[in-house]
Chains A and B, each alone.
Chain A
Amino acid sequence: MHITFNAFSFARNKLKEQGIPCVNVAREIDEGTSAQDFIDELELSKKYVEAVFINGTVMPKDTVLHEGDRIALLPPGTPGSYRLILGIKEMGER
């Protein structure tokens, strides 16, 4: 199945260095893949992913992805109270 994939800030730089497209790109993944499985496939450590947006909402990393989902990987470093009020800290720890 297909998802749309984005990576931000340090994760984007890291993936770009490896030649992995990560700005609004379609990716094929297996059925039953969770966000964390997907992060593991990309070999990104916690240093590069604090939280995951799925379809515009920060979700737990063990959330299973579905056909057509939009996923964005967010590294540590979100300023303001937004790390709190978007649920980045809370969901990032789940």
Chain B
Amino acid sequence: MSDKIYRVNMKELNYRIEDVPEEWMGLGGRGLTSTVIAAEVDPECHPLGPNNKMVFAPGLLSGTIAANSGRNSLGIKSPLTGGIKESNVGGTIAGIMAKLGVKALIIEDIPEDDSTFYHIHVTKEHVTIEPCPELVGKENFEVLDAMLERYDKKVAVMTIGTPGEQRMMISNISVKDPKGKLRSHGRGATGAVMGSKKIKVITVDAEKYKETHLADPEKFKSANKVFTKALQENPISGEGLPAFGTNVLVNIINEAGGLPARNFRYGNSENAEAICGETMADNIKARGGSTTHGCHAGCVIQCSQTYNDEEGNYLASGFEYEMIWAFGANFGISDLDLIAKIDNLMDNIGVDAIETGVTFGVAAEGGLLEFEDGETVYKILSEDIPQGTPLGKIIGSGAGNVGKILGVVRVPVVKNQSIPAYEPRAIKGQGITYVTTPMGADHTAGYAVATNILNSGGYIDPLKKEGQVELSRNLQIASAAIDSTGMCIFVAFPALDDPACLPALIDMINARFGINLTGEDVTSLGARILKTEHAFNLKAGLTAADDRIPEFMKYEPLPPHNVVWDFTNEEIDAFWDF
């Protein structure tokens, strides 16, 4: 049986199961979510009003045995950026939706009666939409436990905590992972949109699904073998990430002078040694955690981890570089265990690690609290934000808004979304990605390395602007394509060394659907997605003036390299000449 579109209307509190329109057939993940948002959402709509939609879509290869194919995409118009958003997550949702035959779950409109929240449960044949007053005011782990008690343990769960209920700009949607912990549809206030639609939790049945259909199982199997081998034998995905996690980047980015510290005043942090991946791995070894943990079934990279305290008690999992940077280097907390406690707390209430961490940096700059004061951070996150006190509402509004409230000039945002853990002045290619991606400042928008980039040739000095626009464009096109496959963007790492890696990925897509895509087709798909997203943003009222770095980065030289952002507007705008 072919895949279907499941469409839920929150005003009518009903649903339809529809055939997939011809033009959406070959799309998945980000390619599908951005296409649907562009086709069905008025770009000028208020993101928290009735005309915004949520589009959840597994990738093209999700639900298959392909290694690392368990990523799910969510498309919305973002209340944080005012533009289109695709947010990508691991967990169990993508595989389960794909196996159930859900090509996309589209949620429309808002209930007329806003006195309660709803629970949506999706099965193969039906969607139920029922009020869930007993879950209102509960945080994620409690909601997760309630769902696991009610359904089969494998049920897919997507939930919001109290920040999402309050439609805060730092809120995420949290997604169950294979070990019963949480991953996040992060960035761009995804939780606020779910909260605006009065949805507390979405569950997807995992009992009655069937394996995904493969057009050519033999070809699929042999391509997956080549692909898996490329991942496992590569020093990054096969050794570096499993041993140190993404947090191996602390020392590297710090050494490069690109680790934003003290609200983007410096490119080095005195805390680097205390919070780095090597220290984290030593702690895990001594305390009996685990350096390997997959965020979704079928992951062979296992970049995630389980991090315990000195007594061996669980503190956090999915303890990533960007989170540790935000609270360790940027806000100044030197105690890795306290950062882990904050990480777990943020998972529970469902807030974005980057947006929240950068917001605390701006708040410290504005005198609302002191840099390094992790105990106050913990108190605000555990009390003020869930209770919705004025202080909680202010922090919950995100870095851009807090900067305005406190009269701060040094506000590191692009399109009102916080800049992540790589300083644009010292890593200029990353900076071009921040300003040009339709997503607002987002490192993952230019994360995937594809073969065409190798052919562009030559060394590009990260401190200089030459060659950076073309590099960023190629990285963003590759990332948009990978985000459509359901693959983790880390699968592209071996492509730098192993020419068999990406062709094997394309072979799997072809064998899954019985088609004949080429590498060029996939590149074209990536380019088309970017242009669709950019066109949506222009119609939403964003202009080239929104593709700019915060002004302070143009006149404040960043130590230790003492570099400024020196691109002209024309150089940046040339990004879209393709």
Binding site for B on A (CB under 8 A): 6, 8-10, 12-13, 23-24, 50, 53, 56-58, 72, 74-87, 89-91
Whether A80 contacts B462 in the complex (CB less than 8 A), given A8-B251, A86-B252, A86-B427, comes out as no
CA distance A75 to B459 in the complex (A): 19
Which A residues lie within 8 Å of B475 (CB)? Answer: 81, 84-85
Q: Across the interface, do B255 and A85 meet the contact criterion of CB distance under 8 Å?
A: no
Q: Across the interface, do A78 and B427 meet the contact criterion of CB distance under 8 Å?
A: no
Q: Across the interface, do A85 and B236 meet the contact criterion of CB distance under 8 Å?
A: no
With beta carbons under 8 angstroms apart, the residue of B248, B273, B429, B458 that contacts A77 is B248
CA distance A76 to B244 in the complex (A): 12
Binding site for A on B (CB under 8 A): 235-237, 239-241, 243-244, 246, 248-249, 251-253, 255-257, 273, 277-278, 303, 422, 427, 429-430, 443, 446-449, 453, 458-463, 471, 475, 490, 493, 496, 560-561
CA distance A18 to B142 in the complex (A): 48
Q: Across the interface, do A81 and B241 meet the contact criterion of CB distance under 8 Å?
A: no
CA distance A53 to B268 in the complex (A): 14
18 more CB-based (< 8 A) A-B contacts, given A9-B244, A50-B235, A83-B449: A6-B251, A8-B251, A9-B277, A72-B251, A75-B235, A77-B240, A77-B241, A78-B240, A78-B248, A79-B236, A79-B249, A80-B447, A82-B252, A82-B427, A84-B496, A85-B430, A85-B475, A86-B252
Which B residues lie within 8 Å of A8 (CB)? Answer: 248, 251-252, 255, 278
Nearest residue, chain B, Cβ from A87: B459
Q: Across the interface, do A86 and B462 meet the contact criterion of CB distance under 8 Å?
A: yes
Nearest residue, chain B, Cβ from A23: B273
Which A residues lie within 8 Å of B248 (CB)? Answer: 8-9, 77-79
Q: Across the interface, do A79 and B255 meet the contact criterion of CB distance under 8 Å?
A: no
A75, chain B: closest CB distance, angstroms: 7
Whether A85 contacts B273 in the complex (CB less than 8 A), given A78-B240, A79-B236, comes out as no
With beta carbons under 8 angstroms apart, the residue of A12, A23, A83 that contacts B236 is A83
With beta carbons under 8 angstroms apart, the residue of B239, B448, B471 that contacts A85 is B471
Which A residues lie within 8 Å of B251 (CB)? Answer: 6, 8-9, 72
Which A residues lie within 8 Å of B273 (CB)? Answer: 23-24
CA distance A91 to B462 in the complex (A): 12
